[in-house]
Amino acid sequence: MYKKKISYRLFIVLVIFWIMFTLDFSMWNLIAGVIVSYIISRLSFGIYYDIKGFKIKIPRFTVLIQYSLRLICEIYKASFFHIFRIIKKEYAPMIVEIELSTTDPLIITIIANSITLTPGTITIDSYDNKLLVLSIENDGEFGKSIERNIKDKFESILLRKDENIVSTDNYGPYSCSNGNNLN
């Protein structure tokens, strides 16, 4: 009984996403969406959820909003920073291994994708809780400042245990003005 309830919730979410992405309300498209959503929800048992509940723990919505705002701000800052570096031909590529504090695959994937979205850095590989990152900025510290910035600006938001902690800096939790650039 519980298995069907979880499958039903996933099925409804998949149908809603199908409709949102296709924006086609014809009968054949809705039937195709229902069939595909049903198949995916059945095949997801044991991978995405089991009898006990969902296996993947998604961060709270407020944390995802805060993280998205920080990411957008960092992408914007890094864009201007690297435009000038490239025009002046002041770049020195380096590969950095970054060890994250988490072993949660979802959080590691979010951080790896954020690094790739930020101009000047690309995540080359991910294994265990480590990321291999290509950066066009050589920080002169063998990647320590790049690792510190990624941990401070991205990982710390997703791993915050107490969501009610008030920020102690002068800029607030949504500011991207504290600290150095990611890149």
Please report the pLDDT score of residue 183 as a whole number: 41
Q: What is the pLDDT of residues 93-126, one digit of tens each?
A: 889 899 998 888 888 999 999 999 988 899 999 9
Percent of the chain surpassing pLDDT 70: 80
**34, HSE (Cβ side, Cα atoms, 13 Å):** 7
Candidates 179, 152, 56; CA nearest to 98 is 152
Report the SS3 class of residue 62: helix
Q: At what angle do helices 27-43 and 2-22 cross, to 10 degrees?
A: 140
Report the SS3 class of residue 58: coil
Report the SS3 class of residue 31: helix
The highest-level CATH class for domain 61-158 is: alpha beta
Contact 92, 138 (CB under 8 A): yes
List CB contacts of 131: < 8 A, sequence separation 6 or more. Answer: 97, 98, 100, 108, 111, 112, 115, 123, 125
Longest dimension (CA), the chain: 64
Q: Domain ranges in the chain?
A: 2-54, 61-158
Has this prediction a pTM greater than 0.85? no
Please provide the average confidence, as pLDDT, over all residues in the chain.
79
